[in-house]
Amino acid sequence: MKVVSSIPSDILKIQKKMCEYEIGSRNYKKYKKILAKHIKRHAMQKRVNSNIKTIEIIQQLEKDKKI
């Protein structure tokens, strides 16, 4: 059975890689920065998609109202 996750696979891979390193080490800090960038990008994509859907719904409602 396949598990559906809302977390992208790239973020999960980075988190797994971080588990290999000791907290505070040079590599841990490096992967922490990379993870922050990926999470920020993922959150921004979700916000943009949400805004696009809202705009489409408003346009559809206006279109239905004119008819």
Binned at pLDDT 50, 70 and 90, residue 16 comes out as: very high
Tokens of 56: 């489409």
Q: What is the arithmetic mean of pLDDT over 30-52?
A: 94
Higher pLDDT among residues 1 and 65, named by residue: 65
Residues 6+ apart with CB under 8 A from 22: 28
pLDDT value at residue 34: 95
pLDDT value at residue 6: 80
Q: What is the pTM of this model?
A: 0.71
